[in-house]
Amino acid sequence: MKFLHAQKTMNFVLIDGTWNNSTALFNRLRDHSKVVWGEDGISCISLDSLEASSMHKLRPQPSWDRTCTAAAASGLLSELHLCPNFGIHNLDKQVKAVESSMDVLVKALTGRIKRMGRPSNREDRREKLC
C-alpha cells in the first residue's frame, strides 16, 4: 500500500453487508462522492496481506479472495502498521484484538450451531446435502 500524500487526511470506509448490498452501496457512495467532492470517484485499495479468516470456516463467502468486514479491518490495520507514518501507533495490537474477537465469535457461533444439531462448517454442510 503506497501513500503519496502523507499529510493528507485519509478516511477508510469498510462496507458491512451482503456482497450484493455492499456493491450497491459502494456504487451509491462513488456517485455521491462525485457530486460532493467533484472527483471522479472514490480511491480504492487492495490489501496485499489478506488471507482467509477464521470466519471462512463458518460463513461461506462467494469466493476465497473475498472476506468478512472484520477480517478486512484487521488486514487494513496490519498493512497500515507497516507504513512508516502509522507504525508508531502500535496498530499491531489492534490487529491482534480484532483477530481475537473474531476467534471468540467463531467459537461462540460454532458452539451454538452444534447445540442446534446443524453442521458447523462448509464441508459438513456439503456432505449433509449430498
Domain that holds residue 17: 7-44
67 and 83 in one domain? yes
In the numeric block, the cell 472484520 is attached to: 70
In-domain check, residue 2:
no
95 and 62 in one domain? yes
In-domain check, residue 1:
no
Give the pLDDT band (50/70/90) at residue 130: very low
65 and 35 in one domain? no
CA distance 70 to 20: 18
Could you read off the pLDDT of 50-101 as tens digits, one per residue? 666 666 666 666 666 677 888 888 888 888 888 888 878 889 899 899 989 9
pLDDT tops 80 at residue 17: yes
78 and 124 in one domain? yes
pLDDT tops 60 at residue 126: no
Q: H or E segment at 125?
A: helix 122-129
Domain count, the chain: 2
16 and 71 in one domain? no
For residue 129, the model assigns a pLDDT of 47
Q: What is the pTM of this model?
A: 0.67
